[in-house]
Amino acid sequence: MTASAPSQNLPSAADLQPWLARALDAAKQLGASAAEASVSVSRGLSVGVRMGEVESVQFQRDRDLSISVLFGQRTGSASTGELSEAGLQRAVEAACAIARASGEDPCVGLADAALMANHFPDLDLCHPWNLSAEAAIDLAKECEAAAFAADARISQSEGASVDTRHSLSLYANTHGFIGARESTDHSLSCVAIAGSGEAMQNGHWYSAARSSGDLDAPAAVGQRAGERAAARLNAQGLSTRSTPVLFPAEVARGLFSHFLGAISGGALYRRASFLLDRLGETIFAERVNAAQRPYLLRAAASSAFDAEGVATAERALIANGVLQGYLLGSYSARKLGLATTGNAGGIYNLVVDSTFDGGLEALIREMGEGLIVTDLMGQGVNTVTGDYSRGASGFWVENGAIAYPVQNLTIASTLPDIFRGIQAIASDVDTRGSVRCGSILIDHMTVAG
């Protein structure tokens, strides 16, 4: 698959900039002391097939303009999907009315003007895929057919899908800052079902990329889904034990997502994080290092500026296991008496360094005996206390090789113990999301059947 020529179906940044200027001007005319506005447009195609038949074809075309105004230390926000003079005026008037009726908050306000981004490198995020619905259907059918061909025990399918989206967003404020992001997101996915009756098992796989040329082939995605479903047949239970636990890369990144939630400004100023006031302390095993890398080409969360226009920066968050920083926007920073870190909107690519030269198979051999967790269920993660307890299924390992599939398990520990118990981080990095890490081996967790 290769990317097609750039689509002409979206307006340009130059077309949208005047809407932001008019919104900010209208806010000032109504008495606002400061204001910020954003406008976004997108178009997309989503196709789903199941058992060889088309289940859905959806074309999406969205647009939105949002305005936030400040009257001193009072703020109000409104949005509209109507890009017209009348729609814009109504949104600005609504935001101003909300602000006038709001209470004062000493922490509201635009980010410091001196922190606005002034460097906008090309991060290679935009690769439109001019894919027809008919071609997308063919790709989805090829993906699903490969799942059935992967193993004779594949009996059903929950379907295969193809999605493509092209988006453009602009942000501006009364500091004079204006920035634009144009990006594309493409994906292929499939869910296969093996076996029959109560013994059925499913297997899911997907590929996601900024450019369609970087996607895995449909047949490879479908085959992986089929193989994963078949491998889970005849799953057993386990007796309660303490054992090493191995998280494959696609599951392991969730552990670092919990970490990011615990160092986010909202959790911190609400005192709802077990990592409050822990800067400079050892949180992870000494071997763990991780940093924000906002300028990675074609990455899922690359950006030169955050949701407030503040310049993003490469920065260490974990160095030799020690917590180096938080993720703060200007509001949460003021609540904490700190400075924004340019993370309004979240993380801009967390890259976790590998510590082990090898992928999942090599790490299985390294573990020797223990549990591989391939699927997690439930929401049993408490970032206030750090308690961790989730339903799980996967594979039991003996003598450095998979012995049999297991299911109906609960794995339990605490996030501090999990983080300090990281024994190895493999080199099989999953690049499909905002957290990039390899498979992770934890020294021990409690596993209950």
CA distance linking residue 345 with residue 329, whole number of Å: 8
pLDDT over threshold 60, residue 4: no
**What is the pLDDT, as a whole number, of residue 7?**
44
Report the relative pairing of strands 435-436 and 350-352 from DSSP bridges.
Answer: parallel
**What is the pLDDT, as a whole number, of residue 2?**
39
Instruction: Please check whether residues 145 and 218 belong to one and the same domain.
Output: yes
Calculated CA dihedral for residues 307, 308, 309, 312, nearest 10 degrees: -60
The answer to whether the CB of 126 falls within 8 A of the CB of 185 is: no
Paired with 35 in beta bridges are: 69
Which DSSP category does 281 fall into? S
- Could you report the per-residue pLDDT of 318-331, keeping only the tens digit for each? 999 999 999 999 99
* Alpha carbon of residue 288 to chain centroid: 21
pLDDT over threshold 90, residue 345: yes
What is the sign of the dihedral through the CA atoms of 266, 268, 274 and 275?
A: positive
> Position of tokens 């299911």?
407
Instruction: Please check whether residues 319 and 397 belong to one and the same domain.
Output: yes
DSSP state letters, 84-131: SHHHHHHHHHHHHHHHHHSPP-TT-SPPPGGGB---------------
- Could you report the per-residue pLDDT of 376-431, keeping only the tens digit for each? 998 899 999 999 999 999 999 999 999 999 999 999 999 999 999 999 999 999 99
124's tokens? 């290679």
pLDDT over threshold 70, residue 1: no
pLDDT over threshold 80, residue 5: no
**What is the pLDDT, as a whole number, of residue 379?**
87
Strand, helix or coil at 253?
helix
For residue 17, being part of any structural domain is answered with yes
Instruction: Please check whether residues 28 and 108 belong to one and the same domain.
Output: yes
Residue 175's Cβ-side half-sphere holds a number of Cα atoms within 13 Å equal to 20
Element (H, E) at 248: none
Instruction: Please check whether residues 253 and 123 belong to one and the same domain.
Output: no
- Could you report the per-residue pLDDT of 59-86, keeping only the tens digit for each? 999 999 999 999 999 999 999 999 999 9
Per the prediction, the chain carries an average pLDDT of: 96
Q: Which domain holds residue 394?
A: 235-449
| pTM of the complete model | 0.94
**What is the pLDDT, as a whole number, of residue 9?**
77
Instruction: Please check whether residues 162 and 77 belong to one and the same domain.
Output: yes
Burial class of residue 297 in the structure, from the number of CB atoms within 10 Å of its CB (0-12 exposed, 13-18 middle, 19+ buried): exposed
Instruction: Please check whether residues 107 and 163 belong to one and the same domain.
Output: yes
Nearest to 383 by CA among 292, 260, 289: 260
The answer to whether the CB of 244 falls within 8 A of the CB of 163 is: no
The answer to whether the CB of 298 falls within 8 A of the CB of 208 is: no
Residue 131's Cβ-side half-sphere holds a number of Cα atoms within 13 Å equal to 33
Instruction: Please check whether residues 216 and 101 belong to one and the same domain.
Output: yes
Q: Which residues contact 354 (CB under 8 A, 6 or more apart)?
A: 425, 426, 427, 429, 437, 438
For residue 98, being part of any structural domain is answered with yes
Q: 154: domain CATH number?
A: 3.30.2290.10
Instruction: Please check whether residues 277 and 361 belong to one and the same domain.
Output: yes
Instruction: Please check whether residues 108 and 171 belong to one and the same domain.
Output: yes
pLDDT over threshold 90, residue 198: no
CA distance linking residue 102 with residue 71, whole number of Å: 10
CA distance linking residue 351 with residue 434, whole number of Å: 8
Instruction: Please check whether residues 272 and 239 belong to one and the same domain.
Output: yes
